[in-house]
Structure 1
Amino acid sequence: MRTSRAQTAIEMVFILSIIFIGLILIVPSYVENNTNVAIVGYVRSSVSKAVDYLNTGIMTNEEPYSYLNPILANITENPHLSIKSLTSEETGSEVTIKVTLSTPFQSIETLPSLAENITAFVKKDLVENFRFTDNNGVLSYGGKTVNIEIDVVRG
Protein backbone atom coordinates (compact mmCIF):
# COMPACT_ATOMS: atom_id res chain seq x y z
CA MET A 1 0.00 0.00 0.00
CA ARG A 2 2.80 2.40 0.84
CA THR A 3 4.70 1.79 -2.38
CA SER A 4 1.64 2.66 -4.47
CA ARG A 5 1.26 5.96 -2.62
CA ALA A 6 4.91 6.74 -3.08
CA GLN A 7 4.70 5.90 -6.76
CA THR A 8 1.62 8.15 -7.15
CA ALA A 9 3.41 10.99 -5.37
CA ILE A 10 6.46 10.62 -7.62
CA GLU A 11 4.24 10.58 -10.71
CA MET A 12 2.47 13.75 -9.56
CA VAL A 13 5.79 15.50 -8.95
CA PHE A 14 6.94 14.44 -12.42
CA ILE A 15 3.73 15.74 -14.05
CA LEU A 16 3.89 19.04 -12.14
CA SER A 17 7.55 19.52 -13.09
CA ILE A 18 6.65 19.08 -16.78
CA ILE A 19 3.87 21.68 -16.41
CA PHE A 20 6.18 24.18 -14.66
CA ILE A 21 8.95 23.71 -17.23
CA GLY A 22 6.39 24.37 -19.98
CA LEU A 23 5.26 27.55 -18.23
CA ILE A 24 8.83 28.73 -17.79
CA LEU A 25 9.46 28.29 -21.52
CA ILE A 26 6.17 29.78 -22.80
CA VAL A 27 5.40 32.72 -20.49
CA PRO A 28 8.48 34.91 -21.22
CA SER A 29 7.93 34.85 -24.99
CA TYR A 30 4.23 35.60 -24.51
CA VAL A 31 4.99 38.56 -22.25
CA GLU A 32 7.58 39.95 -24.69
CA ASN A 33 5.20 39.68 -27.64
CA ASN A 34 2.45 41.27 -25.59
CA THR A 35 4.74 44.21 -24.72
CA ASN A 36 5.64 44.77 -28.38
CA VAL A 37 1.99 44.67 -29.44
CA ALA A 38 1.08 47.13 -26.67
CA ILE A 39 3.83 49.56 -27.73
CA VAL A 40 2.68 49.54 -31.37
CA GLY A 41 -0.95 49.97 -30.34
CA TYR A 42 -0.19 52.90 -28.03
CA VAL A 43 1.94 54.66 -30.66
CA ARG A 44 -0.79 54.20 -33.28
CA SER A 45 -3.34 55.65 -30.88
CA SER A 46 -1.20 58.72 -30.20
CA VAL A 47 -0.46 59.30 -33.88
CA SER A 48 -4.20 59.05 -34.59
CA LYS A 49 -4.86 61.70 -31.93
CA ALA A 50 -2.35 64.04 -33.58
CA VAL A 51 -3.80 63.45 -37.06
CA ASP A 52 -7.37 63.99 -35.81
CA TYR A 53 -6.37 67.19 -34.01
CA LEU A 54 -4.70 68.64 -37.11
CA ASN A 55 -7.54 67.56 -39.40
CA THR A 56 -10.17 69.08 -37.10
CA GLY A 57 -8.39 72.43 -37.08
CA ILE A 58 -9.62 73.58 -33.67
CA MET A 59 -6.83 74.89 -31.47
CA THR A 60 -6.56 74.26 -27.72
CA ASN A 61 -3.86 75.09 -25.21
CA GLU A 62 -4.08 71.76 -23.37
CA GLU A 63 -1.01 69.58 -23.08
CA PRO A 64 0.27 67.87 -25.18
CA TYR A 65 -1.66 69.56 -28.02
CA SER A 66 0.45 72.69 -27.62
CA TYR A 67 3.15 70.89 -29.66
CA LEU A 68 0.79 70.85 -32.64
CA ASN A 69 -0.47 74.44 -32.37
CA PRO A 70 2.42 76.01 -34.36
CA ILE A 71 1.58 73.67 -37.24
CA LEU A 72 -2.12 74.38 -36.95
CA ALA A 73 -1.43 78.11 -37.09
CA ASN A 74 0.30 77.64 -40.49
CA ILE A 75 -2.39 75.45 -42.04
CA THR A 76 -5.00 77.33 -44.06
CA GLU A 77 -7.01 74.28 -45.18
CA ASN A 78 -7.91 70.84 -43.90
CA PRO A 79 -4.66 68.90 -44.34
CA HIS A 80 -6.44 65.55 -44.86
CA LEU A 81 -3.62 63.78 -43.03
CA SER A 82 -3.91 60.02 -42.70
CA ILE A 83 -1.73 57.16 -41.56
CA LYS A 84 -0.32 55.57 -44.71
CA SER A 85 1.83 52.94 -43.02
CA LEU A 86 3.07 51.90 -39.61
CA THR A 87 5.87 49.38 -39.22
CA SER A 88 7.80 48.15 -36.22
CA GLU A 89 11.22 46.56 -35.92
CA GLU A 90 12.31 44.83 -32.74
CA THR A 91 15.95 44.20 -31.97
CA GLY A 92 16.64 42.92 -28.48
CA SER A 93 15.41 45.51 -26.04
CA GLU A 94 14.81 48.21 -28.66
CA VAL A 95 11.65 48.81 -30.69
CA THR A 96 11.68 51.20 -33.66
CA ILE A 97 8.33 52.32 -35.01
CA LYS A 98 8.20 54.05 -38.38
CA VAL A 99 5.03 55.93 -39.25
CA THR A 100 4.32 57.44 -42.65
CA LEU A 101 1.57 60.04 -42.83
CA SER A 102 0.15 61.14 -46.14
CA THR A 103 -1.54 64.31 -47.31
CA PRO A 104 -2.77 65.28 -50.78
CA PHE A 105 -1.39 68.80 -50.39
CA GLN A 106 2.22 69.68 -51.10
CA SER A 107 1.92 72.80 -48.93
CA ILE A 108 1.21 70.63 -45.86
CA GLU A 109 3.93 68.12 -46.68
CA THR A 110 6.56 70.86 -46.80
CA LEU A 111 5.60 72.63 -43.57
CA PRO A 112 8.73 73.12 -41.50
CA SER A 113 9.01 70.81 -38.49
CA LEU A 114 5.71 69.02 -39.19
CA ALA A 115 7.13 65.56 -38.50
CA GLU A 116 9.17 66.80 -35.52
CA ASN A 117 6.17 68.44 -33.86
CA ILE A 118 4.01 65.38 -34.37
CA THR A 119 6.79 63.21 -32.92
CA ALA A 120 7.07 65.51 -29.90
CA PHE A 121 3.30 65.31 -29.41
CA VAL A 122 3.31 61.50 -29.65
CA LYS A 123 6.14 61.17 -27.11
CA LYS A 124 4.44 63.51 -24.64
CA ASP A 125 1.08 61.76 -25.10
CA LEU A 126 2.65 58.34 -24.53
CA VAL A 127 4.26 59.50 -21.29
CA GLU A 128 1.08 61.17 -20.02
CA ASN A 129 -1.50 58.57 -21.02
CA PHE A 130 0.16 55.18 -21.52
CA ARG A 131 2.77 54.86 -18.75
CA PHE A 132 5.82 55.27 -20.97
CA THR A 133 8.85 56.84 -19.32
CA ASP A 134 11.07 59.56 -20.76
CA ASN A 135 14.61 59.51 -19.39
CA ASN A 136 16.54 62.42 -20.89
CA GLY A 137 14.83 62.08 -24.25
CA VAL A 138 14.93 58.26 -24.33
CA LEU A 139 11.42 56.81 -24.44
CA SER A 140 10.90 53.39 -22.84
CA TYR A 141 8.09 51.01 -21.99
CA GLY A 142 8.25 47.63 -20.26
CA GLY A 143 12.05 47.67 -20.18
CA LYS A 144 12.29 48.36 -23.91
CA THR A 145 13.67 51.48 -25.57
CA VAL A 146 11.17 52.93 -28.06
CA ASN A 147 12.24 54.96 -31.09
CA ILE A 148 9.59 56.74 -33.15
CA GLU A 149 10.23 57.97 -36.68
CA ILE A 150 7.50 59.95 -38.43
CA ASP A 151 7.58 60.98 -42.08
CA VAL A 152 4.99 63.01 -44.02
CA VAL A 153 4.59 62.36 -47.73
CA ARG A 154 2.30 63.53 -50.47
CA GLY A 155 -0.04 60.89 -51.74
Structure 2
Amino acid sequence: MSGSARARRGQTAIEMLFILGIILTGIVVIVPLYTQESGESLLVAAVRDAASQAAVYIEAGVISDTPGYEDLNDIIQGYTEYRSVGFRLVGVSLVSESSERVTIAVKFTHNFSPEPSRDSGIARKIGEFLKNHLKDVNGFYLKDGHLYYGGRLVEFKIAVGETLEVIS
Protein backbone atom coordinates (compact mmCIF):
# COMPACT_ATOMS: atom_id res chain seq x y z
CA MET A 1 0.00 0.00 0.00
CA SER A 2 1.38 3.37 -0.95
CA GLY A 3 1.81 6.29 1.43
CA SER A 4 -0.90 8.38 -0.22
CA ALA A 5 -3.45 5.54 0.18
CA ARG A 6 -2.65 5.32 3.90
CA ALA A 7 -2.97 9.08 4.24
CA ARG A 8 -6.38 9.05 2.51
CA ARG A 9 -7.55 6.19 4.69
CA GLY A 10 -6.33 8.02 7.82
CA GLN A 11 -8.03 11.22 6.68
CA THR A 12 -11.28 9.32 6.08
CA ALA A 13 -11.09 7.79 9.56
CA ILE A 14 -10.52 11.24 11.12
CA GLU A 15 -13.45 12.68 9.12
CA MET A 16 -15.69 9.85 10.33
CA LEU A 17 -14.67 10.46 13.96
CA PHE A 18 -15.37 14.18 13.50
CA ILE A 19 -18.85 13.47 12.05
CA LEU A 20 -19.56 10.95 14.81
CA GLY A 21 -18.49 13.54 17.40
CA ILE A 22 -20.91 16.10 15.93
CA ILE A 23 -23.77 13.57 15.99
CA LEU A 24 -23.07 12.57 19.61
CA THR A 25 -22.83 16.21 20.67
CA GLY A 26 -26.21 16.86 19.05
CA ILE A 27 -27.73 13.93 20.92
CA VAL A 28 -26.30 15.11 24.23
CA VAL A 29 -27.75 18.60 23.67
CA ILE A 30 -31.17 17.63 22.23
CA VAL A 31 -32.20 14.65 24.40
CA PRO A 32 -32.25 16.53 27.75
CA LEU A 33 -34.29 19.34 26.16
CA TYR A 34 -36.74 16.83 24.72
CA THR A 35 -37.14 14.93 27.99
CA GLN A 36 -37.64 18.20 29.92
CA GLU A 37 -40.31 19.33 27.44
CA SER A 38 -41.90 15.89 27.57
CA GLY A 39 -42.02 16.04 31.38
CA GLU A 40 -43.75 19.42 31.27
CA SER A 41 -46.30 18.05 28.81
CA LEU A 42 -46.99 15.11 31.12
CA LEU A 43 -47.41 17.48 34.06
CA VAL A 44 -49.97 19.64 32.22
CA ALA A 45 -51.77 16.56 30.84
CA ALA A 46 -52.09 15.03 34.33
CA VAL A 47 -53.46 18.28 35.76
CA ARG A 48 -55.87 18.65 32.82
CA ASP A 49 -57.15 15.11 33.37
CA ALA A 50 -57.73 15.66 37.11
CA ALA A 51 -59.34 19.09 36.54
CA SER A 52 -61.60 17.62 33.87
CA GLN A 53 -62.68 14.87 36.27
CA ALA A 54 -63.48 17.51 38.90
CA ALA A 55 -65.57 19.55 36.45
CA VAL A 56 -67.56 16.53 35.27
CA TYR A 57 -68.13 15.39 38.85
CA ILE A 58 -69.38 18.82 39.97
CA GLU A 59 -71.44 19.19 36.79
CA ALA A 60 -73.30 15.95 37.55
CA GLY A 61 -74.26 17.06 41.06
CA VAL A 62 -74.24 13.52 42.45
CA ILE A 63 -72.01 12.66 45.39
CA SER A 64 -70.14 9.39 45.79
CA ASP A 65 -68.48 7.71 48.73
CA THR A 66 -65.44 6.95 46.57
CA PRO A 67 -62.26 7.84 48.49
CA GLY A 68 -60.56 10.99 47.20
CA TYR A 69 -63.75 12.82 46.21
CA GLU A 70 -64.56 14.29 49.63
CA ASP A 71 -63.60 17.84 48.60
CA LEU A 72 -65.80 17.66 45.51
CA ASN A 73 -68.63 16.22 47.59
CA ASP A 74 -68.32 19.29 49.84
CA ILE A 75 -68.76 21.51 46.78
CA ILE A 76 -71.89 19.63 45.70
CA GLN A 77 -73.37 19.67 49.19
CA GLY A 78 -72.44 23.24 50.08
CA TYR A 79 -72.65 25.14 46.81
CA THR A 80 -74.57 23.32 44.08
CA GLU A 81 -77.10 21.70 46.44
CA TYR A 82 -77.10 18.39 44.54
CA ARG A 83 -78.21 20.04 41.28
CA SER A 84 -76.66 19.53 37.91
CA VAL A 85 -74.97 22.83 37.18
CA GLY A 86 -73.19 24.35 34.22
CA PHE A 87 -69.65 23.84 35.52
CA ARG A 88 -66.95 23.60 32.86
CA LEU A 89 -63.18 23.36 32.62
CA VAL A 90 -62.07 26.16 30.31
CA GLY A 91 -58.37 25.47 30.21
CA VAL A 92 -55.11 24.42 31.82
CA SER A 93 -51.79 26.08 31.06
CA LEU A 94 -48.25 26.22 32.35
CA VAL A 95 -47.79 29.77 33.66
CA SER A 96 -44.22 29.73 34.92
CA GLU A 97 -41.52 27.37 36.01
CA SER A 98 -38.18 27.45 37.73
CA SER A 99 -35.90 24.87 39.23
CA GLU A 100 -37.92 25.09 42.46
CA ARG A 101 -41.53 25.75 41.40
CA VAL A 102 -44.04 25.08 38.63
CA THR A 103 -47.16 27.26 38.39
CA ILE A 104 -50.19 25.97 36.51
CA ALA A 105 -53.33 27.97 35.74
CA VAL A 106 -56.65 26.11 35.80
CA LYS A 107 -59.82 27.98 34.78
CA PHE A 108 -63.43 26.94 35.32
CA THR A 109 -66.69 28.66 34.43
CA HIS A 110 -70.19 28.14 35.79
CA ASN A 111 -73.70 29.43 35.31
CA PHE A 112 -74.10 30.82 38.86
CA SER A 113 -74.43 34.51 39.51
CA PRO A 114 -71.05 36.01 40.54
CA GLU A 115 -70.28 35.52 44.23
CA PRO A 116 -66.56 35.80 45.11
CA SER A 117 -66.75 34.07 48.51
CA ARG A 118 -68.54 31.03 47.05
CA ASP A 119 -66.20 30.87 44.04
CA SER A 120 -63.18 31.18 46.31
CA GLY A 121 -64.40 28.24 48.41
CA ILE A 122 -64.99 26.15 45.29
CA ALA A 123 -61.51 26.98 43.97
CA ARG A 124 -59.87 25.98 47.26
CA LYS A 125 -61.77 22.68 47.37
CA ILE A 126 -60.83 21.91 43.75
CA GLY A 127 -57.20 22.71 44.58
CA GLU A 128 -57.28 20.21 47.45
CA PHE A 129 -58.88 17.62 45.17
CA LEU A 130 -56.14 18.16 42.55
CA LYS A 131 -53.40 17.73 45.14
CA ASN A 132 -54.95 14.57 46.58
CA HIS A 133 -55.73 13.11 43.17
CA LEU A 134 -52.34 13.86 41.61
CA LYS A 135 -50.29 12.52 44.52
CA ASP A 136 -51.03 9.03 43.20
CA VAL A 137 -49.89 9.85 39.65
CA ASN A 138 -46.36 8.84 38.65
CA GLY A 139 -43.89 11.70 39.25
CA PHE A 140 -46.05 13.53 41.82
CA TYR A 141 -45.79 13.32 45.60
CA LEU A 142 -47.12 15.13 48.67
CA LYS A 143 -44.69 16.48 51.25
CA ASP A 144 -45.82 18.57 54.23
CA GLY A 145 -49.18 19.16 52.56
CA HIS A 146 -47.64 20.48 49.33
CA LEU A 147 -47.66 18.77 45.94
CA TYR A 148 -44.34 18.23 44.16
CA TYR A 149 -43.52 17.05 40.66
CA GLY A 150 -39.97 16.03 39.81
CA GLY A 151 -38.69 17.71 42.98
CA ARG A 152 -40.42 21.03 42.19
CA LEU A 153 -43.31 22.54 44.15
CA VAL A 154 -46.53 22.58 42.11
CA GLU A 155 -48.60 25.74 42.54
CA PHE A 156 -52.11 26.05 41.12
CA LYS A 157 -53.75 29.31 40.14
CA ILE A 158 -57.36 28.19 40.09
CA ALA A 159 -59.95 30.56 38.66
CA VAL A 160 -63.61 29.85 39.24
CA GLY A 161 -65.71 32.45 37.49
CA GLU A 162 -63.86 35.72 38.10
CA THR A 163 -62.29 34.63 41.40
CA LEU A 164 -58.68 33.43 41.55
CA GLU A 165 -57.14 31.32 44.32
CA VAL A 166 -53.50 30.25 44.58
CA ILE A 167 -53.07 26.74 45.99
CA SER A 168 -49.71 25.14 46.71
Structure 1 runs (4+) greater than 6 angstroms displaced? none
Is 2:39 the counterpart of 1:35? Answer: yes
- Tell me: higher relative CO, structure 1 or 2? Use CA pairs within 8 A at least 6 residues apart: 1
Query: In structure 1, what is the equivalent of residue 102 of structure 2?
Result: 95
Q: Secondary structure in 1 aligned to 2:32? A: helix
Q: Residue 92 of structure 2 is aligned with which of 66, 74, 86?
A: 86
Q: Secondary structure in 1 aligned to 2:125? A: helix
Residue pair 1:71, 1:111 contacting (<8 A) in 2 also: no
Instruction: Point out where structure 2 has 5 or more consecutive residues left out of the alignment.
Output: 163-168
Query: In structure 2, what is the equivalent of residue 137 of structure 1?
Result: 145
**Quick one: which amino acid aligns to residue 111 of structure 2?**
P
The two structures have a TM-score, normalised by structure 1, of 0.86
Once the two structures are TM-superposed, the CA of residue 137 in structure 1 deviates from its matched residue by: 2.5
Q: Secondary structure in 2 aligned to 1:140? A: strand
Instruction: Point out where structure 1 has 5 or more consecutive residues left out of the alignment.
Output: none
**Following superposition of structure 1 onto structure 2, how do residues 1-155 of structure 1 map, counting pairs within 5 Å?**
1-74=5-78, 75-76=80-81, 77-93=83-99, 94-106=101-113, 110=118, 113-153=121-161
Once the two structures are TM-superposed, the CA of residue 145 in structure 1 deviates from its matched residue by: 2.6
**Quick one: which amino acid aligns to residue 140 of structure 1?**
Y
Q: Give CA-to-partner distance per residue, 1:48-94, whole Å, 9 cap, x none.
A: 00111111122112221122111111223222111223332233222
Residue pair 2:119, 2:160 contacting (<8 A) in 1 also: no
- Provide the C-alpha distance between the structure 2 equivalents of 1:28 and 1:138, rounded to a whole number of angstroms: 27
Once the two structures are TM-superposed, the CA of residue 136 in structure 1 deviates from its matched residue by: 1.3
**Quick one: which amino acid aligns to residue 139 of structure 2?**
R
Once the two structures are TM-superposed, the CA of residue 134 in structure 1 deviates from its matched residue by: 1.4
- Provide the C-alpha distance between the structure 2 equivalents of 1:19 and 1:139, rounded to a whole number of angstroms: 39
Query: In structure 1, what is the equivalent of residue 165 of structure 2?
Result: none
Residue pair 1:133, 1:141 contacting (<8 A) in 2 also: yes
Residue pair 1:96, 1:146 contacting (<8 A) in 2 also: yes
Q: Which has the larger radius of gyration?
A: 2
Q: Secondary structure in 2 aligned to 1:89? A: strand
**Quick one: which amino acid aligns to residue 104 of structure 2?**
I
The two structures have a TM-score, normalised by structure 2, of 0.80
- Provide the C-alpha distance between the structure 1 equivalents of 2:98 and 2:28, rounded to a whole number of angstroms: 19
Query: Which one is further off, 65-74 or 15-24?
Result: 65-74
Query: Which one is further off, 52-61 or 100-109?
Result: 100-109
